[in-house]
Amino acid sequence: MEHLTLLLAIVIVTALVFDFTNGFHDTANAMATTISTGALKPKTAVAMSAVLNLVGAFLSVEVAKTISGGLINEQGIRTEVIFAALVGAILWNLFTWLLGLPSSSSHALFGGLIGATLMSVGTSGVNGGVVVTKVLLPALAAPLVAGLAAMLATRLTYRIGRNTDEKATAKGYRAGQIASAGLVSLAHGTNDAQKTMGVITLALVTGGVLAPGSNPPLWVIVSAGVAIALGTYLGGWRIIRTMGKGLTDLRPQQGFAAQTSAATVILASSHLGFSLSTTQSCSGAVMGAGLGRKGGVVRWSTATRMFIAWGLTLPAAGLVAAGAEFLTGQGPWGIAATAALLVLLSAVIWFASRRQPVDHTNVNGADESADADGPAGIVAAAVAAVTPPPVTGPASEIAATIPAPGTGTSDPTTEPARPAAV
Amino acid sequence: MNIDWAALGSVFGVSLVTTVALVGLFTLGIVGLSKSAPPAGAGTTGTGSVAVARTGAYVCFGLCLAAVSYGIYMIVA
């Protein structure tokens, strides 16, 4: 019994850690465009997003009935499987964060669950068809829907507003963008904090602490909400930079169109019964807004790396989770070893990130290259905007230490400055 | 495996129409407001049309606000 409660405690802590990584991984969805267009200061943006995530966690009374949406057979799932799945999801989240790539946290969790289940009970535990309808198809649909909507909206807003002074209207667009971003944050808190509550509740049920079918206790709701809010406030600055600056250069109109498209797609999809990933909708919307402006560019090299990361999310998280499940299956020492490995690998990733720290001071990435280029900066930035950023010293160092998917790991700090509005 | 094409299609349609409509409305509102505060020298604009532009802008913003409220309602409900 004592062993069981210790395992449960580990799972709960791991679930909260996942929730935390989910928060800082997904801050970008709501706030990347808001930060890059200057609608809000970086710190203000993440603080606002954190508060809305926390509020969102308490808003919905609808309890996450199933954590995997039918992907795996959750009946008779063992606590170790949940633990292994979380390990896979956390490590993939941290790894993509290190590379600054937005990828879906839910898909990472799904991948982890699938991998751990495959290792635990074999193929009978996984519903292959659901994998296609819940993960693969939405991954294709989300960026298309959000991108197309954002592109048309961007075109329209430029068309209607073509006779207005861009400086005079920027303030209005920024205000609208903040509202859209707020909605995205709120929806995120409701959905993703619920997911962690579902995981913890399921763990408590499988551990025999709660009766099957019971609601999450208050402390679960509170701790899940706080974990996701803390993660959001910490801010995944690397991903924010990629989404807000790396994919394309956004002006206030575009940021507004992108964020509105993302908010609409997320709300529409979750209420019309075809859930789309928040991350993929937002990335798609940003790219669509980039294409919608005349002369706008999408940096396809960055976009390609992001797509590769999406494709790898499920198998990679699954593979790690399967390994973790294999290890936990070896008995108590295996569980301890898995936990130790999780801490160790997380620490390694964190230290690797310190070599190229990205935080609220350099998230918009304009400072360095502008300083270095001096007066020629505008020309250089304009050129850089149409060419993929070069791989330079420290970046290749990282690429050498960590084998990245797609070797063209560009250095986030050399991301070109936003070309001056002409 | 059964793919819910109807749901996917409606997500597609609703998202597209709503996004474009909202962004269009908001832009009209912004344009209306910027017309109501004309730069010096725009003497030809009468006070009447300024009032119309301003009112129209507030109607647009009001509709956007309603949409945001509906969004919050959907999240809560």
Which residue ranges make up each domain of chain B?
22-76
**In this predicted structure, what is the pLDDT of residue A315?**
92
A53 interface with B at CB cutoff 8 Å: no
DSSP-based three-state secondary structure for A248: strand
Chain A hits for B45, Cβ within 8 Å: none
Neighbours of A345 (CB within 10 A): 16
pLDDT per residue as tens digits for the range B43-58: 455 567 788 888 888 8
* Model ipTM value: 0.84
Alpha helices, DSSP H, located in A207-251: 218-234, 237-241
Q: What SS3 string covers A15-31? A: HHHHHHHHHHHHHHHHH
Alpha helices in A37-136 (DSSP H): 42-59, 79-99, 105-121, 128-131
Domain boundaries, chain A: 2-334
Over residues A263-282, the pLDDT tens digits come to 999 888 888 777 788 899 99
Q: Which two tokens stand for residue A6?
A: 């210790």
pLDDT of res. A396: 40
pLDDT for A406 equals 42
What is the gyration radius of the CA atoms in chain B, in angstroms?
18
Question: Please, which residues 15-74 of chain B have a Cβ atom closer than 8 Å to chain A?
Answer: 15-16, 18-20, 22-24, 26-31, 33-34, 64, 68, 71-72, 74
Which DSSP state fits A123?
Answer: G
Q: What does the alpha-carbon distance between residue A59 and residue A182 come to, in Å, rounded to a whole number? A: 14
| pLDDT average, residue stretch B49-68 | 86
In whole angstroms, give the CA distance from residue A416 to residue A245. 8
For A:359-398, CB contacts with B below 8 A are: none
- Residue A175: its H or E element: helix A166-206
Q: What is the pLDDT of residue A47?
A: 92
pLDDT of residue A84: 92
DSSP character at residue A416 = P
CB A364 within 8 A of CB A35: yes
Listed as ranges, residues in chain A with pLDDT below 70 are 1-4, 61-69, 76, 365-422
Per-residue model confidence as pLDDT tens digits over B17-48: 999 999 999 988 888 888 755 554 444 555 67
Tokens 């420290």, residue located: A394
**What is residue A61's predicted lDDT score, i.e. its pLDDT?**
58
The amino acid at residue B28 is L
Residue A265 · residue B15 · CB < 8 Å = yes
Q: What is the pLDDT of residue B9?
A: 87
